[in-house]
Structure 1
Amino acid sequence: MTSSECGSTKWQLLGEQFCADLPADAIATVGVVVGCSGGADSVALTRLIAEHSQRLPEPKRSSRPPLRIAHFNHGLRGQHSDADEQLVRDLADSLGIDVVVGRPGREDDGDAEANLRQIRRDFFHDVAAQSGCRYVALAHSADDQAETVLHHLLRGTGTQGMAGIRPASPLGRDFVILRPLLRARREAIRSALVEQGYRWREDASNESTRYTRNWIRNDVLPLIETRFPHAGEALQRAADNQNQLSEMLGRLAQQWLAAFVELPSASRPTSLKIHRPGSSRPLRSRPEQHPWPHGEDLACEPAIVIAACQSAFDAAGWPRGEMNREHWSRLGSAIVQPREAIDQMSGDPAVRLGHWPGHVEGIQRPEYVILRRASRG
């Protein structure tokens, strides 16, 4: 018998979906910071996590790890922003959970979507680090997923962008962002809150099409759904399928990285050394080297090489926000060249490949490519 046949309420059904997508250790052992804006989705997430925490067995509850609510007040909407903050404070007080409120500093200028998002991420990272929590829970929904995939598609994204929002993703080196409501529809979340009489605040700026995401949410997707009523679900499925492919590609990229890339070291702090899998010369032996187990053809597959280079940038701490598809393709082509072209380099001095965003310069030799990043400051 299903939950609906047993007469479960909308809130109970939402809670079951939430629990199915929440790692077992998130609340019981390592602690959670809940990002709460005061909107419907984040209020629902906060209440669900609080309920889940209260259901822990008594011994675990007495020694449970920290649980925090984090709210960032950008102050962009004057008294409305302050009212959002007050609702979150009242919610935290009613649940008996500590709340941390952040506000922009002098260096946090501008209100571009990407800038505001990065400020919040930095804030969540700091709260997690200070509170000893491992996870940061954010309230992205299935509708957010559909909007993100469509946004990425219209911008000309690659395979990674088509995966949309991940159910879990890293936040710095030590923390993980969880999105346990990613399969829940926005309408279902609001209906569940109304059923329980729980309050939230609507951000009037969400109706403005000044921001691209709002334009997609309020104008583009509703128009598409007049012809394709299940477009949101279709975009969600596309993201799920692409996530599976991306995970497989990510595993191959990590193997490629371990086999062919030397990351920056104390002796070469600003250099990446990338050995050519297509070179006729053997890869130089290194203590940390792992063999590539899949054959030379797959080692030269552009998608794997590019994904590995992206992982190498991340591992080296190099920014790649300005790198577009053309930049990555050019880098991948420089690494994986036809054997004839590689053989012609024999005996030649290092050849400059050009420059990439982030002050990165490339130099190639027959056996490898070196990327050097100019130190700034």
Structure 2
Amino acid sequence: MSDRTPVPEFDASSLIADCVAKASVGSGSQLVLAYSGGVDSEVLAQGLASFARHNPQYRYLLVHVHHGLSSNADAWVRHCQSQAAKYQLPIEIRQVKVKMGPRLSIEAQARSARYEAITSLMAPGDALLTAHHLDDQLETVLLALKRGLGPKGLSAMGEVQAFDNNKQLLRPLLSISREQIESLATSQAIAHIEDESNQDTKYDRNFLRLEIIPKLKARWSSIAVTASRSAALCAQQQAVIDEEVSKRLPSYIVPVSQGNGTALELSDLREQGVNWQLLLLRGYIEYLGFAPLSQVQLEQVLYQLLDARVDAKVELRLGDTLVRRFRGRAYLSSVEAEHAERINAPILEWDLTPLLSPDCDGAGGVVQIESSEAELRLSVSEIKSLQVRMLSQLDRVRLPNADERVTVRFAIAGSTRCSPHNRQKGRELKKLWQESGIPPWEREKVPFIFYNNVLVCAVGYWIEKAFVCRDASAGLNFKIVTRNSSFPFTHHQP
């Protein structure tokens, strides 16, 4: 007779039902399973199939991501497609390219690519199911300790979490051990794949899973449960901190002058104790959607922002996050976004002929119109275009004469004399920038429209008085348009 303790059984379908109820997933929403075909996701997929038979009010989708990192990847795709047919659940296969490099973590890059591929198939209100379990939680806590993270990091994973534009993340198996999952798969003969990379201990999670956690469990059999309890306590404490930060933070955030986005007011931050300074700075970084900084990095940023000389140029690059200081305010932007925003050329010629009315007389006279849906766009960077529409309302400049060449120019001389329509007197450009509080790195991104060599307008800021349409005649309205991108933009709330 065996003295082995029986492994507790569980019902994945019931666990899914509990999570869906806790998350209040609305009828008609889609339940999306991150489906690798490994034993964990296979057990969850079977449970989802059972749940789906009794809950037709939801839509269902399995998503398998082909990373192209294994010679077996194509076979894994065929396995997942075959299993999905048995479960009678729809499946999407997404092939991604994982960024590789000497300073890049393959694990992190694969996870990021997988996340983007899956969430691209989701809409607000949908829920993503992942097969994370109790032992994964222990691994996450140990990795957080290794990285020196605080309560937020140690709170690890939650069973139900909101994420990414009103979506829900559900982890129905978070209270279930790896042993329970493998036992159920064996007893029910659930077919699954084995990823050979899971045996490679050069990856931190595999090292913990294969070499460290078995020894910990041999000494303390309930360590996964107690670590999960500690994580829950950290999450509870972090929730209180987050609630308080969310109440305080808005009073430190100010809109940027003449544009979209925000900055952090440093004079107010300086009045707080150092612990609250760190919490508020961390909260602002999270609010903008940037990757969290380590405690050492936060302290370095805080020192530079608050203690560097008033006339010192503060510009710190930390991963993809760029932190600058200007006139007592902190500005955060993405290095990748700034690279994509670099202008194509300092001077761009623009042919507006396709937009102009055939009734133009060639000397500025035009037919009266209410509005026009027609528009032209000129690409000025990888992610930004300059849009022009012909309107008889809103702020607009007069149409160019037949002999006037239209150009778009950037970074024009600060000594350029300007006569903005919204000022009584003209001034040099550099004085206008200083007056408006526009940071230096933003000034070079502003497009200026010229007719021949005469300044017409600074897009988004002013129109030169001599070129303003003051009656109901048609004119041109210029606007910068940003195309969709996967990274946060300068000053923009995500």
TM range (shorter): 0.7 to 0.9
Does 1:72 pair with 2:65? yes
Aligned to 1:360, which of 305, 318, 323?
Answer: 323
Residue 118 of structure 1 is matched in structure 2 by 112
For 1:21, give the aligned amino acid: C
Distance 1:45 1:256 in 2: 41
Residue 320 of structure 1 is matched in structure 2 by 291
TM-score by length of structure 2 reads 0.59
Residue 209 of structure 1 is matched in structure 2 by 201
Does 1:19 pair with 2:33? no
Contact 1:351–1:363 under 8 Å retained in 2: no
Aligned to 1:87, which of 79, 101, 112?
Answer: 79
Contact 2:133–2:173 under 8 Å retained in 1: yes
How far the C-alpha of 1:252 sits from its partner, in A, is 1.1
For 2:280, give the aligned amino acid: A
Residues 1-377 of structure 1 correspond to what in structure 2 (within 5 A)? 10-12=9-11, 14-22=12-20, 23=22, 25-26=24-25, 28-56=27-55, 61=56, 64-78=57-71, 80-105=72-97, 108-109=99-100, 112-129=106-123, 134-262=126-254, 267=259, 269=261, 271-274=263-266, 276=268, 279=271, 300=273, 302=275, 304-317=276-289, 319-320=290-291, 323-332=293-302, 355-357=316-318, 358-363=321-326, 365=328, 369-371=329-331, 373=333, 375-377=338-340
Distance 1:125 1:34 in 2: 11
Q: Helix, strand or coil for the counterpart of 2:120? A: helix
Q: Cα distance 1:308–1:31, how it changes in 2: closer, same or farther (>3 A)?
A: farther
How far the C-alpha of 1:262 sits from its partner, in A, is 2.4
Q: How many residues align?
A: 324
How far the C-alpha of 1:223 sits from its partner, in A, is 2.0
Contact 2:253–2:262 under 8 Å retained in 1: no
Distance 2:152 2:184 in 1: 33
Distance 2:332 2:111 in 1: 30
Distance 1:268 1:372 in 2: 13
Q: Cα distance 1:364–1:183, how it changes in 2: closer, same or farther (>3 A)?
A: farther
How far the C-alpha of 1:163 sits from its partner, in A, is 1.1
How far the C-alpha of 1:174 sits from its partner, in A, is 3.9
Gaps of 5+ in 2: 1-7, 341-494
How far the C-alpha of 1:101 sits from its partner, in A, is 0.5
Distance 1:44 1:361 in 2: 48
Deviations along 1:315-350, whole A, 9 cap, x unmatched?
334x335x3211213445677x8xxx9xxx9xx966
How far the C-alpha of 1:19 sits from its partner, in A, is 3.1
Between the two proteins, what is the percent identity of the paired residues? 20
Q: Cα distance 1:11–1:236, how it changes in 2: closer, same or farther (>3 A)?
A: closer
Distance 1:156 1:24 in 2: 31
Gaps of 5+ in 1: 1-8, 280-298
Contact 1:273–1:370 under 8 Å retained in 2: yes
Q: Cα distance 1:301–1:44, how it changes in 2: closer, same or farther (>3 A)?
A: farther
Which is bigger in relative contact order (C-alpha 8 A, separation at least 6)?
1
Deviates more, 1:266-275 or 1:182-191: 266-275
How far the C-alpha of 1:108 sits from its partner, in A, is 3.9
Deviates more, 1:23-32 or 1:189-198: 23-32
For 1:113, give the aligned amino acid: E
Larger Rg computed on CA atoms: 2
How far the C-alpha of 1:116 sits from its partner, in A, is 0.5
Distance 1:76 1:37 in 2: 13
Q: Helix, strand or coil for the counterpart of 2:29? A: coil
Please identify which structure carries the higher helix content. 1
RMSD over equivalenced CA pairs, Å: 3.0
Deviations along 1:117-164, whole A, 9 cap, x unmatched?
0000101111214xx761111111110000111011012222211111
Contact 2:254–2:264 under 8 Å retained in 1: yes
